[in-house]
Amino acid sequence: MALVVQKFGGTSVATAEKIMAAARRAIRAQQAGNQVLVVVSARGDTTDELIELAQQITDRPPAREMDMLLATGEQISIALMAMALHTLGQPAISFTGAQVGIVTDSVHTKARIKSITTDRVVKALNEGKIVIVAGFQGVDENDNVTTLGRGGSDTTAAALAAVMKHAGTGQEVACEIYTDVDGVYTTDPRIVPEARKIDVISYDEMLELASLGAGVMHSRSIEFASKFDVPLMVRSSFSDAEGTWIVPEADWMREVVVCGAALARDEARVAIIGVPDQPGVSHRVFSAIADRNVVVDMIAQGVGSEGKAAIGFTVLDRDLPATLEALDVLVREWGATIEHEKSVSKVSIVGIGMRTHTGVAEKMFAALAAENVNLKMITTADVKISVLVDRADGVRALRAVHQAFDLAAPRPGAGLPPGGNGSKGPYRPRPGVLPPSNTRTLGELAYDLSNMEEVRVTEISLYTDQGRITIFDLPDRPGNCSRIFQAIAAAGIIVDMIVQNLIGGKAELSFSVPLDDLERAAHLTREVVASIDPRARISADGNIARVIARGVGMRTHTGVARKMFGALAKRGINIAMINTSEVRLAAVVDRDRGEEALACLKEAFGVS
C-alpha cells in the first residue's frame, strides 16, 4: 500500500463546495488502495485578513504573537476538512503542526523545520483514517507556535512525505500539490501565451525555476523532495488531468537542452569597484550582506587588475537599501566606489541538457541581440544561464529566448507515472521515469531526518581541466557577447562558467573553456574583439582550478556561501571567479592552491 500526501492550497479550500470537492478527491485516492495524508492551507484570503486585523491594532505586532494569530487560519481549514470527510462517511482526524510533532527553530514568521515525529500519523493511517495536517506551522523546542513563511504549506507537505518515506513502513510515497494551475509551464503563460505545460521535470531544474520566481511552488518544498527522493506532482484542484511530475534526473531528460525560461522583474544591481584583489574580500562583502538576511542572487566577480578588482551582484530591489547600508563601512575602508540601479530584471534559461551541449549561451545571446537587448550582467551555473537587462526589456527578452529554444514544442521523453490522481490504482513509479533513489548511509539518513532543513553539502570537487579568458573594457553594446560566443560555438568549444560585470560603462567578460581549447578560444576571441574595439584588452590564463560544492538550496541558504568564502579566506586563498546556483557553488582559484582549497572546504563542510 502506497502513501499519497495531498496538499490543498488556499484557493482549493476557499469555500464549502471546494472543501467537499477536495475531500472527495482524498477519498478516491484511498479507495484506489492508498493511504492518504492531507495538508491544507488557510482558506482563501484568511491569512491576509488576519494580517490586516493585526495591523488595525498595532503597526509593529510581536513576531511570536503574529505566529499565534496566523496559525489559526490553517486550524480552521483542517477542522472543516475533517468534518467534510466525516460527512462523506470517511473516518478522518485532524492535527495541528504541534500535535503531529513538527519541531522548528525559533525564528518566528519564517521558521525552518528541524524534525518531525510520525507516531500519531502512522497510527491513524493504520486505523484506516485519512489524516489532515495543518500546513505552514510547527512549534519550537519551547512549545512556542511558529510559522514557516512563504510557501509554508508546500514545505509541510513535502517534509511530511519525506519523513514518512523513511518511517520504516517500506511504503512508496508521493506528494501531490493541488493548486489553481494545472502544472509547471515552460514560462509564465500570462507573459508568453504559447508556453507549454511540462510533463516531467528534474528536481534540479525545478529548484532553479522556483528560485527564479516560478510561482507554482516554493523552493523549500523542492529541497525536501530532492534531499529525500520524494516524487512531487503539481496539478489542478479543479480537474483530473495529469499535472507535472518533479522527479530525480533521468538520462532522457538530458536530450533537451533547455526546459524552461523565467523572468524575475524586481532585481537591483550593485557593483563595488576598486576593492583589493586579495583573499578574504569576497567573504567580508557577502558576510556583511548575509548579516542583514539578504539573499544575493547573481554574482559576477571578475579578474583583478593592478591589485584591484570589482564585485558585481544582484539582490531584490526591496533589499537594496539594507545592502548599501551593510556595505558602507567596507566601501569607505577600501576607498572603493559603488554603483547601483533598481530598474533591471533577470532573464534565465534552465535545463540539465546544457551541461553537455555546446552553443547554448550563444543561442541565448543571439536571440537577445536580435531584439537589441543589452546585457548588463551574465552569470552561468550548472543548469542555468542568467542575464540582467533593463526592466523595460524584460518581457521582450523572455519572449525572445522562449522562442529561440522552441520551448512551445512538446518535450521528448518517457511517459508519466500512472496513478497520480489515485483514480488509476496505487502509486507505482515507472522505472524509466523515476530513477532509483540516491544511496544514503543510515548515519547520513538519521542526521538528515533530525536536521531536516539544514543544508547538507554532499560533495566537494576539484577540477584543473579548464582555462579562463578575460576581456577588459569591452564596449557595452547589444550583440557584442553574441558575436564572441558565436565564434566559440562554431569552433565546437564548450564554454562552462561565464561572468560579465558592468564597470563604469564598460563590460568585463570572463569565461572558462577546456584547457586543451584555451589557445584556440583565445585566438578566436582576439579576432572578434579586435573588430569590436581594438582598445579592449584580452588575457588567457591556464593556471586556474575550480573548487565546487554541491548540495541542495545552496544559494538561498546564505550560510553556505559564507562558510565557503570564509574557509578559503582563512587559508589566504584568493577567489578569481564565483558561480552560484541552487545546487552548486563554484569558485575559481590559482591552480597551485587547488588541492589546498579542496582540503580546506572538505574540512569546513565535513565532507570526506
Here the CATH number for the domain that contains residue 20 is: 3.40.1160.10
pLDDT score of 451: 59
pLDDT tens-digit readout, 134-189: 999 999 999 999 999 888 999 999 999 999 988 777 788 999 999 888 899 999 99
Confidence class for position 509, pLDDT limits 50, 70, 90: very high
Do the beta carbons of residue 518 and residue 500 sit within 8 Å? no
Sign of CA dihedral 253, 254, 258, 263: positive
Separation in Å, CA 65 to CA 68, 98, 99, 345: 5, 16, 19, 36
Last residue of a domain, one of 128, 162, 180: 180
- Pick the range with the lowest mean pLDDT from 201-210, 217-226, 415-424: 415-424
Tell me if 274 is assigned to some domain: yes
Q: What is the 3-state secondary structure (H, E, C) of 370-415?
A: HCCCCCCEEEECCCEEEEEEEHHHHHHHHHHHHHHCCCCCCCCCCC
Q: State yes or no: pLDDT of 25 exceeds 80.
A: yes
Together in a domain, 501 and 390: yes
Tell me if 424 is assigned to some domain: no
Last residue of a domain, one of 180, 205, 229: 180
pLDDT tens-digit readout, 87-146: 999 999 999 999 999 999 999 998 999 999 999 999 999 999 999 999 999 999 999 999
Last residue of a domain, one of 180, 206, 234: 180
* Selection from 468, 563, 567 nearest residue 511 by Cα: 468
Tell me if 72 is assigned to some domain: yes
pLDDT score of 302: 66
| Paired strand residues for 541 | 468
Q: Which long-range contacts (CB under 8 A, 24 or more apart) does 187-191 make?
A: 187/260, 187/261, 187/262, 187/263, 187/398, 187/402, 187/407, 188/214, 188/262, 188/263, 188/398, 191/263, 191/395, 191/398, 191/399
DSSP 513: E
Average pLDDT over all residues of the chain:
88
pLDDT score of 437: 46
pLDDT tens-digit readout, 534-590: 999 999 999 999 999 988 766 566 678 888 989 999 999 999 888 888 788 899 999
- Chain centroid to CA 493: 28
* Selection from 271, 251, 227, 583 nearest residue 438 by Cα: 227
Share of the chain above pLDDT 90, in %: 64
Do the beta carbons of residue 257 and residue 351 sit within 8 Å? yes
pLDDT score of 553: 64
Tell me if 222 is assigned to some domain: no
pLDDT score of 250: 82
pLDDT score of 304: 65
pLDDT tens-digit readout, 265-287: 889 999 999 999 888 998 999 99
Q: What angle do CA 353, 356, 359 make, to 5 degrees?
A: 90
Confidence class for position 357, pLDDT limits 50, 70, 90: confident
Mean pLDDT of 229-251: 89
- One-letter amino acid for residue 337 of the chain: T
Mean pLDDT of 487-515: 90
Confidence class for position 226, pLDDT limits 50, 70, 90: confident
Range of the domain at 102: 3-180
Tell me if 490 is assigned to some domain: yes
Query: Cell numbers of 68, please?
Result: 499565534
Please tell me the total count of domains within the chain.
2
Tell me if 232 is assigned to some domain: no
pLDDT score of 412: 59
Q: State yes or no: pLDDT of 313 exceeds 60.
A: yes
Q: What's the CATH code of the domain at 595?
A: 3.30.2130.10
pLDDT score of 453: 62
DSSP tally for the chain: helices H, then strands E: 17, 26
* Pairwise CA distance, residues 201 & 351, whole Å: 9
